[in-house]
Amino acid sequence: MSGTEDLLVEPDRLATELDRADPPTLLDVRWRLAGPPGREDYTAGHLPGAVFVDLDTELCGRPGAAGRHPLPDPAALQTALRAAGVRAGHPVVVYDGGDGLSAARAWWTLRWACHRAVRVLHGGFPAWVAAGGPVSTDAPAPAPGDVTVRPGELPVLDAGEAARLAAADAGVLLDVRGAPRYRGETEPIDPVAGHVPGAVNLPAPEYVTEGRFPAAEALRERFAAAGVTPEAPVGAYCGSGVTAAQAVLALHLAGRPDAALYVGSWSDWVADPDRPVATG
């Protein structure tokens, strides 16, 4: 079971670590689904020494049939991470604007790429500022890193695997979008409304509040109420694999490091008109 300290770091603990001779590598991954780009926030002020990495263009692949935020090309991801100073085996801390979404997807991507020493700043940039942490506008020039991307460290689902998991009596596929989108009453982004048949709705606000996670036992109780048992396979999806990455982080915190991410999520599912869609 993964410990909270291996997945999250509080601002005061991070401040202590940054005072060390060889501090963690900081990645600023602030992002908004509807824009503007997070780089504008970074330019206005960021944690000292942090390097900006763009979720859309560096941590994900090009939008297309595989979804709006598909898996990145491993070689391109390795180039981006090395440019940001990520070193093999060296600790990385990622942070976002406070909702915990892009930081969770960055955490998941680095873990998927076999970089295990990565944590999320709990509460993101707002928590750092609230704790009195210093803010800088200087853009660092990190020494090139030497990380090697080896995909496959974390489990992923494709559409067929997601369908089988949703249909299985012994497993659970969580749809973590809001209930109206799950029911098919509204769909503000993708061309078709509804959900994967058999998926269970567990909206993100039920297990995370403004980017902060409750204790592990509370998380286990909330996932159990959605049908997640300690033994059964579990996966998660959302609109494009960002909020669902946060669900996978929450599942890790609850003791389920085997939780799988349907990376393409709903935006991949509806790209094929032959795939069934459930509503209600």
Please choose, from the candidates 167, 164, 190, the residue with its C-alpha nearest in 3D space to the C-alpha of residue 177. 190
Examine the domain organization and report whether 124 and 36 are in the same domain.
Answer: yes
The pLDDT assigned to 3 comes to 64
**How many structural domains is the chain composed of?**
2
pTM over 0.85: yes
The pLDDT assigned to 1 comes to 38
User: Which residue among 53, 92, 238, 253 is the active-site one?
Assistant: 238
Examine the domain organization and report whether 90 and 168 are in the same domain.
Answer: no
> Pairing state of beta strands 25-28 and 51-52?
parallel
* Distance (Å, whole) CA 94 – CA 26: 6
Examine the domain organization and report whether 123 and 205 are in the same domain.
Answer: no
CATH number at residue 107: 3.40.250.10
**Residue 261 maps to a domain:** yes
Two tokens at 176? 């973590």
**Residue 178 maps to a domain:** yes
The pLDDT assigned to 169 comes to 83
Regions of the chain short of the pLDDT cut 50:
1
Examine the domain organization and report whether 71 and 9 are in the same domain.
Answer: yes
What is the domain range of residue 265?
156-269
Left, alpha or beta for 197 (phi > 0: left; psi -120 to 50: alpha)? beta
* Distance (Å, whole) CA 268 – CA 70: 9
Question: Is the preceding omega at residue 63 within 30 degrees of 0, hence cis?
Answer: no
Examine the domain organization and report whether 263 and 190 are in the same domain.
Answer: yes
Examine the domain organization and report whether 18 and 57 are in the same domain.
Answer: yes
* Distance (Å, whole) CA 42 – CA 26: 12
Examine the domain organization and report whether 110 and 161 are in the same domain.
Answer: no
Examine the domain organization and report whether 164 and 57 are in the same domain.
Answer: no
Is 60 annotated as catalytic? Answer: no
